[in-house]
Amino acid sequence: MLCRNRNAANVNWSGARNTDAEFHRTRLTGCNLSGTNLRNVRFYRCKLDVSLFHEPQLTGCQFQECDLWEADFKSTSLKRVISRDYDLRNTRYPSTSFFEIDSQGSRLASMRADTNEVQGTLVDPFQVADIVSMLGLVVERLPTESLNEYNTDISYYLREKARLLNRIVMLSDNNGDPTYRRATYSLCINCKSTPLPKAFS
């Protein structure tokens, strides 16, 4: 089944079973997918914000560039689910089980999940800030007597970081993949004392 460019907001599909289906650019805001059994279902650029996923089973599903803002995954079984470049902010996962989950490139800020359950989830280095917020940690600079002293101590690290970022940009150019370019640029602009890689200068 292929569903493309449809408006299915607030639809009630609770208890449905679906295999090998695809949803492209479909609006599913506020939909009810509670108790569903979805296997190898792909969502591409869909809006699934404030949707209900209560006690469903999702196996081998893919969410790519989707908006799941404030979706509720209560007691959901997630197995081999891939979520790339999609918005998971304020999503809730009470009593949810995770198995072989890939969330690289997704926005995880304010995602509410049991940290014991999400162990083993695949993420990328640029999601560290979101993960820190999930754990409730607060990041502060080390206290020093002089700000200049602090900058001097890490100047070597920043130079090495610039070289590494420049290498990532070169690799992304060769592979034609702009994903790392965007993430690298966001890191570079936050390091004022670090020269931008050549691709951004």
Paired with 113 in beta bridges are 93
Strand blocks (E) in the chain:
2-4, 17-19, 22-24, 37-39, 42-44, 57-59, 62-64, 77-79, 82-84, 92-93, 97-99, 112-113
Q: 0.95 exceeded by the pTM?
A: no
- The CA-based dihedral angle spanning residues 46, 89, 77, 32, taken in that order and rounded to the nearest 10 degrees: -50
pLDDT tens digit string along 37-91? Answer: 999 999 999 999 999 999 999 999 999 999 998 999 999 999 999 888 878 788 8
Count other C-beta atoms under 10 Å from residue 169's C-beta: 20
SS3 135: coil
- Segment 135-169, tens digit of pLDDT: 777 777 666 665 555 454 445 445 555 555 555 55
